[in-house]
Amino acid sequence: MARQNTLDALRADPEISVLIIGGGVNGIGTFRDLALNGVDALLVERGDFGSGASAASSHMLHGGIRYLENGEFRLVNEALRERDRMLLNAPHYAKPLRTTIPIFRWFSGLLNAPLKFLNLLDRPGERGALVIKIGLTFYDFLVRKERAMPQHEFRLREAALREYPGLNPAIICAASYYDAWMPSPERICLEMTLDAEAANSRCQALNYVSAIAGDGEGVVLRDELCGAEYRVKPKVVINAAGPWIDFVNEDVGAGGQRFISGTKGSHLILDQPELLAAARDSEIFFENDDGRIVLILPFFNRVMIGTTDIRIDNPDEARITDAEIDYLLAMVSKVFPRVRVDQSQIVFSFSGVRPLPYSEGGATGQISRDHSIRTLPASGKRAYPVHSLIGGKWTAFRAFSEQAADQALDDLDQPRTVSTENISIGGGRAYPRTDAERDAWLGDLRRRTKLPLPRLRQLFERYGTRAEDIAAFIAVGNDHALKHHPSYSRREIEFMLQFEKIEHLDDLLLRRTLIAMLGETTRDLISELAHIYAESLGWNDERKVNEVERVIDILRDKHRVAL
Ligand SMILES: Cc1cc2nc3c(=O)[nH]c(=O)nc-3n(C[C@H](O)[C@H](O)[C@H](O)COP(=O)(O)OP(=O)(O)OC[C@H]3O[C@@H](n4cnc5c(N)ncnc54)[C@H](O)[C@@H]3O)c2cc1C
């Protein structure tokens, strides 16, 4: 249903079973689960889908080997299983990733876990080879039954330096193991939203709609595009506002308790071919001098480096600081001392806030990364229960969403009929797994659309099997490459404008594509896109000018990109 039609329908009939506030991965995962289980749900997201913490992660789908040290076995076990499910259910956006840990000591860090258990440790000591060996053996053990990727391996110094000649010669050995990464988390969020709506016509998701107040019977929503307000009457509310959970509870009349202690994490994207070559397609995961675990991640022709972990009260204020930039650039020399990195190589940066459970003081790295649901039951003052989704990893969103959906199903006295465990996401459906299957798939699409094979291959790489719809759309109109970004075409952009819930220029540049993140945005490209938007969405000149200013401001303010 078109956005305005959904809003009109809510005005006419405000009763809904479940209202989900927040369109990050956890809200969207819950929305999808409820949709598949036949519940009518409304999801509202005050910005664009997947634009909060879910856009700011290190892009890892991982068990989180570091959390073993904190004794978070349940979380690691669940996350490993969910990682492997993502490789199966979203193979277009979840990719195996070889990860290498350069190691500088043999025995240190052995007491980290016991000391942490006894509450005698605030900052972990350096992790030596033995501790890492124990962790990786346990990691392998947890997935021994459904092993999707190779087991870990250790190499002594000489062998490690042969493979990674740029590594710091002070290492004593290196360990490699497999995790996974996701280049486009925001597209996974979008595709799950579209899947949910397609599965259940009584489920709608609206971006740029905020929950702003509650009066005990209903929740007031504001359309952020025009300021219009609507009042809905839910039976159950799920607060999936991530780091904003306490603010939302306060606004909708469910405040009073503090659930969240957010910590900010920032990342840089560098254009540094020497660093890219040194990492040799592996994530380099290592302990910085201050005991923090940091990473260097090859990201197409760029390199991502991250991250920091700093307490912050207001997530709206999360921006990378000069001190964080210095910290992130300096850490590279610990593992690749001969590679020069500097500010001129930064093409993009981003910051976000981890919605961690409330805690006072202590080292941020020691706060639990596990998830939990805090329920405020319906009361005399409030007709509906509010379930707040606290914490969690991107990786484990499906399991967390299932637990949230179970709470809502219980409230509604409805049974679970479908599990999302084996349900593919968007362009991961009917995904050709082998080279031969992929070639056959592409060949068939070529026969039907007459588009050149290299172009179809590119669409497949970008969108998985969703490329089928996009190619069909491209084939029936006049298409041409964009003048200022020729790897995209006009019809490809028009497809996203028509079918991917786009409202602003930044939705496309930051979340439907990787253009901004790879540092490929230019003023000329923005003008060209604004022109296409105007023709497709009926923008007048004033809207065009405002939108161009808006995206330039966002890039400067939130991503330190000066155009
Ligand atoms: C720096 C960093 C690195 C991370 N790295 C990893 C990693 O590598 N792997 C991993 O598995 N996990 C990682 N995580 C954790 C993971 O990203 C988060 O736990 C997860 O994305 C949280 O999703 P969410 O849906 O709960 O919150 P969010 O994605 O923040 O979604 C909440 C949404 O609520 C919306 N909202 C707020 N107020 C309102 C309102 N009034 N009305 C409507 N909507 C509202 C916000 O706009 C936001 O989009 C990382 C997190 C950070 C910050």
Q: pLDDT digits over 335-354, tens only?
A: 999 999 999 999 999 999 99
Segment (H or E) for 275: helix 273-279
Q: Which atom of ligand 1 is least distant from the CA of 265?
A: 1
What pLDDT is attached to residue 131? 83
Q: pLDDT digits over 476-517, tens only?
A: 999 999 999 999 999 999 999 999 999 999 999 999 999 999
Give me the amino acid identity at 247: F
Running DSSP on this structure, what letter comes out for residue 481? B
Q: Which atom of ligand 1 is least distant from the CA of 309?
A: 1
Task: Compute the distance from residue 68 Cα to the ligand 1 centre, in Å.
Answer: 22
Task: Compute the distance from residue 96 Cα to the ligand 1 centre, in Å.
Answer: 23
Cα angle vertex 147, ends 145, 151, to 5°? 120
Q: How confident is the model at residue 96 (pLDDT cuts 50, 70, 90)?
A: very high
The mean pLDDT value of the chain amounts to 94
Segment (H or E) for 350: strand 346-354
**Beta-bridge partner residues of 154:** 175
Q: pLDDT digits over 454-485, tens only?
A: 999 999 999 999 999 999 999 999 999 999 99
Question: How many CA atoms does the CB half-sphere of 451 hold within 13 Å?
Answer: 28
What pLDDT is attached to residue 282? 97
User: Which residue's C-alpha comes closest to atom 25 of ligand 1?
Assistant: 24
What pLDDT is attached to residue 134? 86
- Distance, in Å, from the CA atom of 195 to the CA atom of 394, rounded to the nearest integer, reads 19
Q: Spell out the residues 6+ positions from residue 233 whose beta carbon is closer than 8 angstroms to its own.
A: 14, 15, 16, 217, 218, 383
Superfamily of domain 3-53+186-258+369-412: FAD/NAD(P)-binding domain (3.50.50.60)
How much is the average pLDDT of 151-179? 95
SS3 annotation, 173-205: EEEEEEEEECCCHHHHHHHHHHHHHHHCCCCEE
For the chain, residues classed under CATH 3.50.50.60 are 3-53+186-258+369-412
- Distance, in Å, from the CA atom of 357 to the CA atom of 390, rounded to the nearest integer, reads 6
What pLDDT is attached to residue 69? 75
Cα angle vertex 243, ends 350, 329, to 5°? 25
Token pair 């789908």 is at which residue?
61
Q: How confident is the model at residue 147 (pLDDT cuts 50, 70, 90)?
A: confident
Q: Which atom of ligand 1 is least distant from the CA of 306?
A: 1
SS3 annotation, 436-449: HHHHHHHHHHHHHH
Hey, what CATH topology would domain 431-559 get?
Helicase, Ruva Protein; domain 3 (1.10.8)
For the chain, residues classed under CATH 3.30.9.10 are 90-181+262-366
Task: Compute the distance from residue 354 Cα to the ligand 1 centre, in Å.
Answer: 7
How much is the average pLDDT of 62-79? 85
Residue list, ligand 1 pocket, CB within 6 Å: 21-27, 44-47, 51-54, 56-60, 210-211, 240-244, 248, 265, 307, 352-355, 389, 392-395
Task: Compute the distance from residue 523 Cα to the ligand 1 centre, in Å.
Answer: 29
Task: Compute the distance from residue 322 Cα to the ligand 1 centre, in Å.
Answer: 23
> CB burial class (10 A; 0-12, 13-18, 19+) of residue 460?
buried
Q: What DSSP string describes 228-257?
A: -EEEEEEEEEEE--GGGHHHHHHHTT--SS
What pLDDT is attached to residue 30? 98
For the chain, residues classed under CATH 1.10.8 are 431-559
Task: Compute the distance from residue 487 Cα to the ligand 1 centre, in Å.
Answer: 30
- Percent of the chain surpassing pLDDT 90: 84
Using only C-alpha atoms, the chain has a radius of gyration, in whole angstroms, of: 24
Q: pLDDT digits over 112-142, tens only?
A: 555 454 455 555 566 778 888 888 888 888 8
pLDDT at 110 exceeding the cut of 70: no
What pLDDT is attached to residue 111? 54
Hey, what CATH topology would domain 90-181+262-366 get?
D-Amino Acid Oxidase; Chain A, domain 2 (3.30.9)
What pLDDT is attached to residue 123? 57
To test the pocket of ligand 1, the residue of 229, 244, 321 to mutate (highest count of ligand atoms within 8 Å of its CB) is 244
> CB burial class (10 A; 0-12, 13-18, 19+) of residue 459?
buried
Task: Compute the distance from residue 163 Cα to the ligand 1 centre, in Å.
Answer: 36
